[in-house]
Chain A
Amino acid sequence: MNASTTDERPAGRDERSGSGPTAVSALAAGTRAELLRLRKWPVVWVLVSVWLMLNLTFAYVFNYIAYATESGNFATEGNPRAALLEDVLPEAIPRIFTTGMPMFGGAIMMILGALAAGSGYGWGTWKTVLTQGPSRLATFGGMLAAVAGTVVAVIAITLVADLAASTLITVSESEPIVWPDLAALAEAAGSGLLIFGMWASAGVLIGVLTRSPAVAIGLGLVWSLVVENLLRSVSGLISGLNYVTDVMPGTSAGSLAGAQGAVPGAEGDGAPGVLTVLDGGSAALLLVGYIAVFTVVAAALVRRRDLV
């Protein structure tokens, strides 16, 4: 062997001691890797941008245009112009923050989760990382942590965007700036985290179940946008069905948004997906339960199932 051939020998993986990496360091490595992947992935930026545009458009732009042009399209009874302006001021953020999350935002987060988990099967990369990575659970846990981190970032960016948009409107209308109550704002952000977290973890589970990003997204969207709504609409016709529909993921997400003050879609000018079926506490508990069940089932499948 000459000197040049020695250079061909791989240089060495970290932590090549007999014991190997610890579970924590393996999880951290998996999280860093998945964060890199999500950050460099154009589709993630597209999804986040679409959500932010939807949120700003429906929460602020349309309402402000209706207010500024005195359009009656969005008006309700009483004092419509004043109500429209109230909704787009900073003080209203805790109330309107989660309005678009149960349905549209949730669907986008579900796509994110389905892509994050399913694309590894689609491209065949899970085979490599699950067989050569530190451990299946650590690698999968890294993906979950990266998705969770992305959800937290999206909530934070949404909050900043809402604050910026409402402040801009306040200044342009020469209204006094009244900042929202911090506790209420934190509760709204926490609710948003639970709603988005539930849908993202549902996407991860469907991605793992189907082992295909396309099928996962298709099935997930059909469930979140169609099936749940259909079931809720017929729950009055079939005795006992409401016991099921009242605790479904979409119902829980919609009820939590409704508990924050978002106007339910059933009230005509409300937002689709927002409901008042459950109280806030029950809805939050159910969402926590769904997140736990979805992630545990997905992790168990990844750990036990044979690789394709």
Chain B
Amino acid sequence: MNLSAGRSPGDTSRAADAAVRARGLRVVRGARTVLDDFDLDVRQGTLTGLLGPSGSGKSTLMRAIVGVQRVAGGAVDVLGRPAGAKVLRDRVGYVTQEPAVYGDLTIRQNLRYFARVLGAPRSDVDRVIDQVQLGSHADHLVSRLSGGQRSRVSLATALLGTPELIVLDEPTVGLDPVLRVELWGLFHRIVEAGATLLVSSHVMDEAERCERLVLLREGSLLADDTLPNLLERTGTGDAEQAFLKLIEQADNGMRTP
């Protein structure tokens, strides 16, 4: 189900420069339909937040965008190509919720490994270690790091090379507030340099750090707009209240014949 009314006017004009364009996307996992007739546009060069409660379909949508999710219907285009196309492999960075790095190698060894696989220059290793602020731990085994540090090592792998679209699944989970602020600062700097970031979170507080918000609920698109527009449309004071209001409006809309 797709609530296209949640998208602000004029958005269709952005289709041409969309980093991600999904139309009629349907994903079924087991007996459950996770996403159904789902449309989405993510403009290039934006920091888009994919927000919604756990189980709303955020990770599934991200997997479909990266091309590692079997889809039952519809289409997803990424940077003008079908999601998962070979030519996108070095243009899309993806970090899963669970850190995806070798625990029995050091941070530097992990990044050297990924740099070799991805064809990134060796100089990238030190750059991304600095970016995620793990320079003082660079030669520590990943298994001995805290959960937040492991997440940042995983994030660093997505920063190797020149990904044009970086998809981050809940990258700030488990991080302390100071680090979260620093990471959001890093995300903005990456976007300012020209990349597109799609960042998921179930923490509504993080909405204010995104240029654009995609709100999901039970596999449906609840809204795709900027935070100021959402607050204005819903007449609320913060993202959480706006989210609740949108749910209420959607429920009322479904009940109204």
Contact = CB atoms under 8 A, between A and B. Distances in A.
B32 interface: no
A69 interface: no
Contacts of B70: 306
A9 to B, nearest CB: 3
Contact of B160 (A10, A29, A134): A10
Nearest to B66: A131
Contacts of A26: 119
Residue among B68, B90, B103 having the largest count of chain A Cβ atoms under 10 Å: B90
B99 interface: yes
Interface string A120-146: 000111011101111100010010000
A30 B124 contact: no
Interface string B67-92: 11010000000000000101101101
B102 interface: yes
Interface in B85-128: 86-87, 89-90, 92-94, 96, 98-106, 109, 112-114, 116-121, 123-124, 127-128
B249 interface: no
Contacts, number: 140
A32 B131 CA distance: 25
Interface residues of A, number: 43
Given A41-B104, A128-B157, A9 B96 contact: no
B89 A131 contact: yes
Given A11-B124, A11-B162, A37-B102, A129 B94 contact: no
A36 interface: yes
B131 A12 contact: no
A32 B120 contact: no
Given A131-B68, A133-B89, A9 B162 contact: yes
A301 interface: no
A205 to B, nearest CB: 21
Interface string A1-43: 1001110111111111010110000100110110011001111
A234 interface: no
Contacts of A16: 90, 161-162
B116 A29 contact: yes
A307 B100 contact: no
Interface residues of B, number: 50
B231 interface: no
A13 B125 CA distance: 12
A114 to B, nearest CB: 15
Contact of A132 (B94, B101, B113): B94
Interface stretch (B8-16, B35-43, B186-194, B208-216): B186-194
A134 B89 CA distance: 7
B119 A1 contact: no
Contacts of A21: 119
B112 A8 contact: no
A135 B119 CA distance: 12
Contacts of A11: 120-121, 123-124, 127, 161-162
A8 B117 contact: no
B221 interface: no
Given A11-B123, A13-B119, A127-B96, A119 B102 contact: yes
Interface string B147-160: 00000000001011
Contact of B189 (A5, A41, A124): A5
B209 to A, nearest CB: 16
Shortest 3 CB-CB distances between A and B: which pairs?
Answer: A13-B161, A9-B193, A33-B116
Given A13-B119, A131-B84, 17 more contacts: A6-B193, A8-B193, A10-B128, A11-B121, A11-B162, A12-B162, A20-B87, A20-B89, A20-B90, A30-B117, A36-B113, A119-B102, A125-B101, A128-B94, A134-B90, A135-B86, A135-B89
15 contacts: A4-B189, A8-B186, A10-B163, A11-B161, A14-B120, A21-B119, A33-B113, A37-B109, A40-B109, A127-B96, A131-B67, A132-B90, A132-B92, A132-B94, A134-B90
